[in-house]
Structure 1
Amino acid sequence: MNVEWQRPRAHAWGGDPERAALLAIAEDIRSRAGFKVCAVEVLRADRMLEFVAIAGADDEGRDLLGQASPVDAMHAALSLGADYGAFTFVAGEWMTDEASELMARYGHVPELPPANEPDAWLATDMLAARIVDAQERLRGIVYLDEPLSGRRPTPEQISELGSMLALQLRAILTHFDREQLEGQLRVARSASAAIRSMSSERDLGGFLKKARHHLKEGFRASDLQIRLFDGGHELNLSRRSEQDVDPRHHRLLDEAAQRAWSAQTALIVEPGHVWGDEILAREGGEDLDLYLARLGAAAVVLVPIGAADEALGYVWVVRHDVRWTEAESIAALSAGHDLGRAVVNARAFAREEQLVGELQRLDQYRTQLIATITHEMKNPIGALAGHLELIDMQLEDGLQVPEAIVRSLSTMSRSVDRLSALASSLLELTRLGQSDTPLVRRPVDLGDLVAEVAALFEAQARAAGVELTFDADSGSVVTGDAAELEMLVTNLVSNAVKYTEPGGSADVTVRRDGDRAVLTCADSGIGITPADQDLVFGEFHRSGDPRARQRPGSGLGLSIAKRIVERHRGTISVTSEHGNGSVFTVRLPLAGPEDHPGPT
């Protein structure tokens, strides 16, 4: 493949319908203006001017159709001219050597008979109108050549041409815009459809397969592949292409995609040419020529995929019949950005799912470990409790032992009680955390339940010097598991009594609030620090307050309470001022009309 200097890629703009429409306008312009030749150039995204319509030229002039030239080459000539309204006239004798050389390289100088008149039109004369948009950006150039009169038009006549042809010049700009928009919209619609498929397909591989289907249609491709650099995804879904693409070329194409993303360009491979990457042309051009020949394809296009500054992969588009246009390159780059963002989001979602799965597995392992340890604790705790009970019975029957041993036995008994309570709490926490644990729902009068629990703690509160009161609205019936709700109230009341100093109070109330029953447990105890309030419902959490740590506890009571409340579709919250007590509030749905109060 030749990588020496060559003309820019030809026939990169539009298709046959667009070119036919512009040719009709060019024919109209030359007829109205009184010129033999009218040519139209469009400014492409690569800053090349391409001839897209030539009306009235000879064979050599028509050979320029589809050819492109750098916009700077035209500027070199037009900057030498005189402006008369929309048109610029450049007399042949005004041309510099540089401008003449550029015109000879990229343009066409017709053969005209010699003329002796001072105002005769010369073969090197140029009359051109710049096509600009509303932002004054150059979009193309219209040329008029060989006036039928054989004479150079006067400045007044040139100015009148601009006014007379204003409608035709605007029509040319409209066709430029329409062709660009049609190509971009077609690709944009396919890219949007591909991105929308993410809503139904979170797996990256599945998303890429759906994206390939939509992009293949939007790119009018006979085959389309998507390759990502580091994700292990390579969708060579055409059996024929999979056989033809040598894996050794992946490195070259990956590196080319990196460069294309940095340059924000699509690479086009046609027989004999690689457009947009000299390195790929030099190192892989011959192999790509063979690849095209084996496929019988007219072109393949590499569209880089990326996000921000990072190239992530590329889309490999194979075409057999339809020529790739520069408007499609612009739209394809936008699609590469959209795909890049989608790939980043899909990978982030996959990492999040993986992390969630690992956390779930860890939680399951922790739950199983706690359950296993707790069950293993039950047997030795039971044995210890049994032996302590036998010793206590013998002591009651008159067995004489030293006072120190009696104190040790008492300490052992309290420790066994604490271990037994801890084991029970662990088992309950595990049970409540299992998704398959059924919730036995029946009407429960929350007021009656609070009264029963308060009665149980009355003696303990009196011994601790704490005034325990309760009050409840009648008919505060909820639907739930009576045993669990009793445990909820028990844990709250127990904490209120435990963390309140002698002389303080603990008040438990039940009120109806709309469709909710509101259970409030307020105490005048030691309170909770602001830092602990965010963690108080966590498992095994114990306050950092030394006064709180002096009280026995496992750090599981409020965690169990929270799980019970959530299983009953309720909420639990706490407000507290350190040193001035705490208020725990539980809101539970009241029983509906279809529920009938029954025994708790």
Structure 2
Amino acid sequence: MGERPEGRTRTGNGDDIRDGVDGRRDDIDRIAGGVRKTAGARAVLVSRALGTDWLEVVAAEGAAADLTELLGARWHSSDLDAGVADGEPRGSHIVTRRGTGPVALPAGSHLPEGEGGLLMPLRTRSGRLVGAISVEGVADPVGLSPVVCELLEGYAEQLRLALQHQGIEALLTEQLRLAFAAEELLHSAGQQPDLDAVLHEVSTGLTEMLDARVGWACVEIAAGVHAEAACHPPEAASRLGPDICTLIEPMVADCWRDDLTLTQQDAPLLGRLAALVDQQQALLAAVGSGNELRGALLILRGEDRPWTLAERDVVRRLGRQMATVVGHLEGRRRDRALVEELRELDAYRRELVVSITHDLKTPLTAITLNTELLASGTRPEDASHHPVDAIRRSALRLSGLVDDLLALARAEEGLIGGAHSEGDLAVVLRDACRHAEPEAQLRGIGFDVDAPAELVVPLDVDALSRVLVNLVANAVKFSLPGGRVRLSLSQVGDVVVFSCSDDGIGIPEDEQSTVFDMFSRSSDPLARGVPGSGMGLAISQRILARLGGSIEVHSVQGQGTTFVVRVPTTVPAAG
């Protein structure tokens, strides 16, 4: 659990209330002693009601020193009802009985044969059970005089009032304890780095705070995101089962709608869940804030610990406040994601500057050197390497780089690949081959084309032309001299399929997943020696995405590469 935040201090009200509770306990002890003396009894036990089903011994007066062992012992209210039903009424509070009382006395404190006792239920005027007095070891319980009965009635009324006040004070004390514990739990949960740690902190903290055996928390960090859950102790999760979220979902919705908690008395299914981990009491609350339900809290414990109103209220409020913690966590996650995105953008900017600078510098250097050669009046020995031709080639390379940059910007802004107009892809493929023909002839590379004479489709053929030109040009550039480039074009149903294969240098397996990244260049020295901007495949992928299509790569280093393009002829859904 986390430490209490600095600057937060507890007020003295809690200590004042605890002092009042201690004083009330002394009063109860004195009254219990008066009952014992008046009735001539061997022992008197005073119990306080815990809800409607249980009572707890709060005072034990008698000659045997070991009666203090009974303090805190709990017994079921049905035993009180049974004792009252079997006894003989004597006044408004007193019921006589024979034999032992509902609370077993410690070993060595057994009553002599023939003695009986008294049971005195303590109820408010409305009939609510406040507590009970069990008088043990009365020689003649039936023969009590009217004066003794009147005195016992007076003591019973005093104890009823004392227990009522003690109950109020104990409730306030418990509310303060739970409030401070919940505050510390929320503070500690808020310091956790992720949702998993938050859930483990909350499930563990709830178990400790409520003296429970099992704590379970389930939350989705954002709408539509798969919910995460944590259980304390962890081994209880397997016994509760993987479907617990689905099982309790309707009950959680009820908790959320009506702003309440549910127990096993409200929903029997919760009792069955508790039984899976050998417990009997279950408490369920919703996690959410505003109009958004985020998850649930489930706490399980033993039969002798019924849920108090204070416990139910603090768990209900904790569910509301926990949603705020999760919201802050989601905010921090978004902030981290934004920071990471900004870092990636900055790295992308630096890479863009370096790559463009390098690609611009090479042709500009060639232009500068050949311009100086022209200015010097020196004639080249080889007429095929005239400076003007070199300048023209460098200028064309610069123009191609600028075209790629413009195409990239337009593709990322959605300005390429959005229009659907009828066109002939067979013509587009032949144009792509003609575009690569000069370099293919220089290197002795041939084309094997499997395509129909005509393939008219309702697609943006101008955008697809750039894709096919890029792929065919790459196949030629990365083929070995004398190699073959195999091209196929067909329509299968409402999908156009284009395949481009070469038997060139191939792509390393560990680089195939990044081949469509911007400025992606292979680490293979042979590939790095081939000129290019590293933008062609990235542009092609973006164009195809705009058309609702796809592109995939299959390659074996040293054997060749195949790119497969699929484009639907139907208009893709918006978005």
How high is the TM-score relative to the length of structure 1? 0.47
